[in-house]
Structure 1
Amino acid sequence: MNKNGAIGAADLVWDSHAGFAFVQAGDLDELSRWRQSGIDFVSVNVGYDVEPWSRAVEALSGYRHWLRAHPDRFVLAGTVDDVIAAKGSGRLAVAFDIEGADALNGDLGMVDFYYRLGVRQMLLVYNRNNLVGGGCHDGDQGLTPFGRAVIAEMNRVGMIVDASHCSHRTSLDMMECSTAPVVFSHSNARALHDHERNIRDDQIKACAAQGGVIGVNGVGLFLGTSGDPVELLLAHIDHMCQLVGPQHVGLGLDSILACQPDDLLSEEALRERAAAYWPPRQYPAAPMNFAPPEIMTDIAAGLDRRGYAATDIRAILGGNFARIANHVWRPVIH
């Protein structure tokens, strides 16, 4: 960080989750905005429980091919060294994540399959209960035996275990079960805004106690009902830092790259799935207001204004998630 709180050339900036509905590989062209905003790494969603499991495979195929065709701007990162090298060459490092273990199609071997294709992080449940555990908008069930087996396999291959979108009980079970630190890649504090997608203080403390990191997101519906988005986001960061210290807080903006109509589902099916995964009681008709990647510079300046030490700002902006990745990610063994 420099004296006015701006992101410096030496700062490693890490966005632990960007989500959007895959339509075509060319959607990734918008990732140039991340690099222009001073971000060095972003994890891009390739699928979630709302979609058929095969959609993740289709997205991975398209995205990997597209990234290989643009080596002047992007690097498909498998290690933290790849991220550092990409930053040094002025390129954006990209890896993938999956939101919900339905993408496994009930097959434990798919964990290793996805890891080899660049998926470095997977949250186990997306809003609604599935084969591995409970979702935040469903019955608060815990991990199933299959869910425990999935976590063991994720630990084995080096995939980060992510508790965002999971139910309270399932998230706590995950942290007891995993031998590697568990993260919340993009979750805000329920103590500040009472939404089912946000997490309670005991979840934040359990995550930190296990060595994990919580990534605060920039989704207006989860930040609060009114106020400046940057200040609301900073308030969630403050709350978590006061609870567990800045070494356990990061950023997962959940910026939307492309909100295009789903070309796989009819309008009737889309309404049915929306009601299931995004219950109207929690998701009013008003827009959710997703923060753009450009907000990262405002967050850095805001942390500086609030008196955070430069070392803590660097940790929140990226150092903490880079530490987790360096600890968890493993070389692909053939």
Structure 2
Amino acid sequence: MNAKALIASSLVWDNHGCMPLRPLDEDFLPQLELYRSSGVDVVMINVGFGEQGVEEHFRMIAHFRHWISARSDRYLLIDSVDDIARARETGRLAIGFDIEGANGIGDQISLISTYYDLGVRWMLMAYNRNNRVGGGCQDDDGGLTAFGRQVLDEMARVGMVACCTHTGYRTARDVMEYSEKPVIFSHSNPRAIWDHPRNIPDDLITACAGTGGVVCLNGIGIFLGANDSSTETYFRHIDHVVQLVGADHAGIGLDYVFDRQELDEYIKKMKRTFPPGLGYEVGEGLKLVSPAQIEELVELQIKAGYPENDICKILGKNMVRIANIVWKPAGMGR
């Protein structure tokens, strides 16, 4: 089977995309069509990150939910795992939400169930810097806190997946040792291929696989190489994970940024979150692997001798497995 046919017959899940975080701006949302035209069936989009607080997260959720519901012929907001198949059968893009860093809950654990009921399906622990839950990957990581353990307990109770992308090494180890459910890295790359603080060492990849989890590979050029967004380099990162822990534990999380200007503004304002010297200063020149490159990726996987079933796992079956294990019906956490 060729790449185009394999994509058409497979469920394709991109575990992280970045729409602009402006709750009164709809200009970029039509670009979600890029996922549909690239054969993607499921995409998770962030509703907030880093130091953004509770109000900012809820405003973005309200904005996205309103926009999606007004276009129910093309998009379906995920409530259950069954919605993924339903969206695919009806030619719609299934959309779920994610939160990049537990600052979105402040000090109120009860918000986790509310976020889940509104469509948030995974949350990462810390975004580059330390917070109440634990340490960030670019900060002095003191490990998972007592509050962080309570957060993980509540996430498991309501069905929200725990993610260790952007999280510090010690905290990530603690999360994976503490959690009884699979843990993911939603958009991270192996440090063995490119040495960057945002990338993760092999022992974290192995620990993630040990939980039954998945490492979804990031498509941002400065985490792949020297601002390198070639499909060949992206494949090298995926292949490293596959060779290390097997195809059952690799996925796609492109982290595709639709508004580079907004990202550049965040980088200039948030020097502690995006410190100089780590490549962030390229700003609008940041190169990104596009969803449109997924077909080239599959071609490289076929050329490398990957079995079709392994390709299907990486494209989306692995994340469906995680969803089936962790997610619960919305409203059950109340």
Q: TM-score, normalised by structure 2?
A: 0.94
For 1:169, give the aligned amino acid.
R
For 1:127, give the aligned amino acid.
N
Query: C-alpha deviations, 1:233-273, integer Å up to 9, x for none?
Result: 100111111110010000000001234548xxxx8xx6774
Identify if the C-alpha distance between structure 1 residues 226 and 143 changes in structure 2 by more than 3 Å, giving closer, same or farther. closer
2: CA distance between counterparts of 1:46 and 1:225? Answer: 28
Q: Are the counterparts in 2 of residues 5 and 304 from structure 1 also a CA contact under 8 Å?
A: no
2: CA distance between counterparts of 1:136 and 1:288? Answer: 20
Q: Give runs of aligned pairs for residues 75-86 of structure 1, distance below 5 A.
A: 75-86=76-87
Out of 263, 266, 281, which is 1:285 matched to? 281
CA RMSD across the alignment:
1.7
Counterpart in 1 of 2:311?
A: 313
Identify if the C-alpha distance between structure 1 residues 69 and 25 changes in structure 2 by more than 3 Å, giving closer, same or farther. farther
For 1:47, give the aligned amino acid.
G
Counterpart in 2 of 1:294?
A: 292
For 1:146, give the aligned amino acid.
F
Counterpart in 2 of 1:19?
A: 18
- Establish whether residue 131 from structure 1 lines up as the match of residue 132 from structure 2: yes
Q: Are the counterparts in 2 of residues 249 and 320 from structure 1 also a CA contact under 8 Å?
A: yes
Equivalent residues, number: 327
Counterpart in 1 of 2:205?
A: 204
Counterpart in 2 of 1:88?
A: 89
2: CA distance between counterparts of 1:322 and 1:102? Answer: 27
Q: Give runs of aligned pairs for residues 237-276 of structure 1, distance below 5 A.
A: 237-261=238-262, 273-276=269-272
For 2:156, give the aligned amino acid.
N
Q: Give runs of aligned pairs for residues 226-241 of structure 1, distance below 5 A.
A: 229-241=230-242
Counterpart in 1 of 2:216?
A: 215
Task: Report SS of the residue matched to 1:72.
Answer: coil
Counterpart in 1 of 2:105?
A: 104
Task: Report SS of the residue matched to 2:301.
Answer: helix
Q: Give runs of aligned pairs for residues 323-334 of structure 1, distance below 5 A.
A: 323-332=321-330, 333=332, 334=334
Superposition deviation, residue 25 in structure 1: 5.4
2: CA distance between counterparts of 1:228 and 1:256? Answer: 13
Q: Which runs of 4+ in 1 moved over 4 A?
A: 270-273
1: CA distance between counterparts of 2:64 and 2:144? Answer: 31
Identify if the C-alpha distance between structure 1 residues 65 and 242 changes in structure 2 by more than 3 Å, giving closer, same or farther. same
Counterpart in 1 of 2:195?
A: 194
Query: C-alpha deviations, 1:151-180, integer Å up to 9, x for none?
Result: 000000000101000000111111111111
For 1:21, give the aligned amino acid.
P
Task: Report SS of the residue matched to 2:99.
Answer: strand
Task: Report SS of the residue matched to 2:291.
Answer: coil
Q: Are the counterparts in 2 of residues 7 and 297 from structure 1 also a CA contact under 8 Å?
A: no
Q: Are the counterparts in 2 of residues 256 and 292 from structure 1 also a CA contact under 8 Å?
A: no
Superposition deviation, residue 79 in structure 1: 1.6
Task: Report SS of the residue matched to 1:170.
Answer: helix
Superposition deviation, residue 288 in structure 1: 2.5
Q: Which runs of 5 or more residues in structure 1 are unaligned?
A: none
Q: Are the counterparts in 2 of residues 137 and 167 from structure 1 also a CA contact under 8 Å?
A: yes
Q: TM-score, normalised by structure 1?
A: 0.94
